[in-house]
Chains A and B, each alone.
Chain A
Amino acid sequence: MTAASAELRAVIAVAEAASEPLPSPDRAQGVLRALRELVPYDCAELSSFDPVQGGHTTLASVDYDPPVLEHFGTRTFVDELDDLDMRRTGSPMRIRDLPREALASRTVNEVLIPAGFRDGLTICLRLPDGRHAGLLNLSTIGRDHPDDQVREAITLLGGTLANVVDPVRSLRILASTLEPGSSAIALRHGEATPLDGFVAGPVLCDEHPALAAAQRFARSGRPQHFLALGGDDRAWFRVHLYRCELDDAWVVAATPTTPPYELTRREIEVLTLLAAGRSNPEIARALVVSPRTISSHVEHILAKLDVPARSAAAARAVGEGLLLPIP
């Protein structure tokens, strides 16, 4: 029962490691372990591209010395990859495949050869949408590997490896759990960025106070949810912030909703100010109505939420996201 080649088994082992529901660094480590069955490397690294730094960050590595990893993370290395057009073509490159002028590059001359490597392979990993996701580097002390067959197999696995190093993978997985009909964006380093497969919709755009509120909540580190009015103030949305600890980023999602507990828009405004600690006269001034009107709103709110006091209404409002963002 073994028509399947060792190579096929190794490729399947990579497939299994790449499909594990693990944190990205753990999954990448598993993939490197499986890749060793395919190509007997001495050292290897999977890294993610960081568009802000313009360099790569190690996700998992096996046996490279820190100075080599440090070099793989630099912009210089990216420049040398670009000299060979590797980020555009996505073709793997071994030392033995390099054109003469590239053999003089810093990577080969000052890093790989002095570290004792005789061959190795680097491949730029591209996602289906063409985004450069990261790199696989591997190095060998002998000259026999990686052979042509291995080079071919690694080329075939490029899309899988790209999924493994995708720097926004956890954001994409989070986004895949959102309710149908949600609009969503990502917040990375406080900046709103589009999220694959989602539109920003009426409330997560620059002109709407909900986005600024989400950015504020993300800064304060408090997971938050709140209500927002969009579509010419006629449609209600629930806005929810989800945190990705590993990526230090947030997904902000807006889902169409109806106001809970049959609260009116005015009551939600009063509840918001009440939870911010304002007294009835202060709320009345802010909304330009009489304090008596506010008292009756508060009574209705307590009745609808079935709570005995303002403090309990405030707690419920925060706990269940029954607040409008205060601009």
Chain B
Amino acid sequence: MTDTIIASVAHVAQAASEALAPGERARAVLEALRRVVPYDCAELSSWNPTAGAHSTLASVGYDARLLAWLNGTDRVTELDQIDLRTSGQPMRLSDLPAHGLAARTVREFLLPAGFRDGLTICLRTGDGRYVGVLDVSSCDARHPSDLEREAIALLSGTLANVVDSAQSLGHAAALLGRECYAVALVDGVVVAAPGLQRGPLLADPRVMAAARALIASGRGSRFLWPSECGRIWWALSLTRCDRSRWLVASHRVDAPHDLTRRELEVLTMVASGRSNSEIGGALVISPRTVATHVENILRKLSTPTRAAAAARAVADGILLAA
């Protein structure tokens, strides 16, 4: 018996470690879980903190009406009434206290659908974040058995990694390499980037405002920010992880192409289409001085025209934040 369950769990391990899109990976994990618990229906869903509800990542067998209920806000209330989200304990129908059996989930949905037993477990990642839920249902009252329940409880950390909606941040952060500081923007809110330090710059709200503005405009993914030392700059880059998540990374660079701070200011205005006299007006210098700066910029970038210099500046990410 134990040998079989180890083999079954090894299948779950393999599915959970696949480099697949989250939905496909969750589906592979549900398929493998069937060997651990012979269920009739199952669902893995992710917690969406903004919506305060769950959404299905993968499901097997449940009909649409039941899935809609399982992911609704009333269900969250019922999970909380028996403390499932805080305890992280697996709960079978057969383990439920009397008031749990009176819950609408059981009375109006699971029992009428013909299920005799089943199990629900709320999933938390290693760092303690609540990330989602596993539901399995069985028409056979013998499953999940005690050993099956314990195996699922032990697998909860693995299942949490599978449903974690922030995993795209972890993967994107892993792609950045280690030589940078980074934070994440989730729906515009700053949170830590997994495995990466925030560093001194990304605590500055002005920098994050500039990052948000660039994301909103959709017109580029990199910019420069001055450091305390004039010859050194911070290079910032924005990486999209999924619809609502971005990584903002920063590392120090030497003055690009040996450009001075003033030249970078002029270059940024050139790239926004301003004329020399407009730039002179904005920087309170004469248009002739601006013309000299532009000449020096073209020479340093080895570009023949203002347009080519603007193109190069965007490609190299050497424009200052607007």
Interface, chain A (partner B; CB < 8 A): 1-5, 7-9, 11-12, 14-16, 18-24, 26, 152-153, 156-157, 159-160, 163-164, 166, 169-170, 172-174, 176-177, 222-224, 242-246, 274-279, 307-320
Contact of A176 with B19 at beta-carbon distance under 8 Å, contacts A8-B9, A22-B195 already known: yes
User: Contact between B195 and A23 (Cβ–Cβ < 8 Å)?
Assistant: yes
Q: Which of B161, B275, B310 gathers the greatest number of chain A CB atoms within 10 Å? A: B310
- Can you pick out 6 interface pairs between chain A and chain B where the beta carbons lie within 8 Å of each other? A19-B17, A157-B13, A172-B19, A274-B307, A277-B304, A310-B306
CB-CB under 8 A from B9, the residues of chain A are 8, 11-12, 15
Q: How far is the CA of A299 from the CA of B317 in the complex (A)?
A: 27
Give A163's nearest chain B residue, CB to CB: B17
A76: shortest Cβ distance to chain B, in Å? 30
User: Contact between A169 and B151 (Cβ–Cβ < 8 Å)?
Assistant: no
Q: Is B171 close to A, CB under 8 A?
A: yes
User: Contact between B2 and A8 (Cβ–Cβ < 8 Å)?
Assistant: yes
User: Contact between B164 and A315 (Cβ–Cβ < 8 Å)?
Assistant: no
A143: shortest Cβ distance to chain B, in Å? 24
Q: How far is the CA of A156 from the CA of B155 in the complex (A)?
A: 16
Q: Is B101 close to A, CB under 8 A?
A: no
CB-CB under 8 A from A24, the residues of chain B are 174
Question: Residues 177-207 of chain B: 1 if any A CB is under 8 Å from the residue's CB, otherwise 0?
Answer: 1100000000000000011000000000000
Partner of A18, one of B13, B174, B177: B13
Q: Which of A4, A8, A14, A319 gathers the greatest number of chain B CB atoms within 10 Å? A: A319
Interface, chain B (partner A; CB < 8 A): 2-3, 5-7, 9-10, 12-14, 16-21, 24, 126, 146-147, 150-151, 154-155, 157-158, 161-162, 164, 167-171, 173-178, 194-195, 218-222, 241-242, 270-275, 303-311, 313-316, 319
User: Contact between A156 and B6 (Cβ–Cβ < 8 Å)?
Assistant: yes
CB-CB under 8 A from B158, the residues of chain A are 12, 15-16, 19
CB-CB under 8 A from A246, the residues of chain B are 174-175, 177
Q: How far is the CA of A172 from the CA of B175 in the complex (A)?
A: 11
Closest 6 A-B residue pairs measured CB to CB?
Answer: A277-B308, A312-B273, A21-B170, A245-B177, A15-B13, A172-B19
Task: Label chain A's interface by main secondary structure.
Answer: helix
User: Contact between B20 and A160 (Cβ–Cβ < 8 Å)?
Assistant: no
User: Contact between A319 and B219 (Cβ–Cβ < 8 Å)?
Assistant: yes
CB-CB under 8 A from A163, the residues of chain B are 14, 17-19
Q: Which of A177, A275, A314 gathers the greatest number of chain B CB atoms within 10 Å? A: A314
User: Contact between B218 and A320 (Cβ–Cβ < 8 Å)?
Assistant: yes
CB-CB under 8 A from B21, the residues of chain A are 176-177
Q: How far is the CA of A102 from the CA of B221 in the complex (A)?
A: 56
Contact of A3 with B150 at beta-carbon distance under 8 Å, contacts A245-B177, A318-B314, A319-B220 already known: yes
CB-CB under 8 A from A174, the residues of chain B are 171, 175
CB-CB under 8 A from B221, the residues of chain A are 223
CB-CB under 8 A from B7, the residues of chain A are 156
B21: shortest Cβ distance to chain A, in Å? 4
Contact of A21 with B171 at beta-carbon distance under 8 Å, contacts A163-B19, A307-B273 already known: yes
User: Contact between A311 and B161 (Cβ–Cβ < 8 Å)?
Assistant: no
A8: shortest Cβ distance to chain B, in Å? 6
A183: shortest Cβ distance to chain B, in Å? 16
CB-CB under 8 A from A15, the residues of chain B are 9-10, 12-13, 16-17, 155, 158
User: Contact between B150 and A4 (Cβ–Cβ < 8 Å)?
Assistant: yes
Q: Which of B7, B10, B162 gathers the greatest number of chain A CB atoms within 10 Å? A: B10
Give B170's nearest chain A residue, CB to CB: A21
Partner of B219, one of A12, A16, A243, A320: A320
B154: shortest Cβ distance to chain A, in Å? 4
Give A175's nearest chain B residue, CB to CB: B19
Partner of A170, one of B150, B175, B303: B175
Partner of B174, one of A2, A23, A307, A312: A23
Partner of B308, one of A1, A172, A276: A276
B32: shortest Cβ distance to chain A, in Å? 10
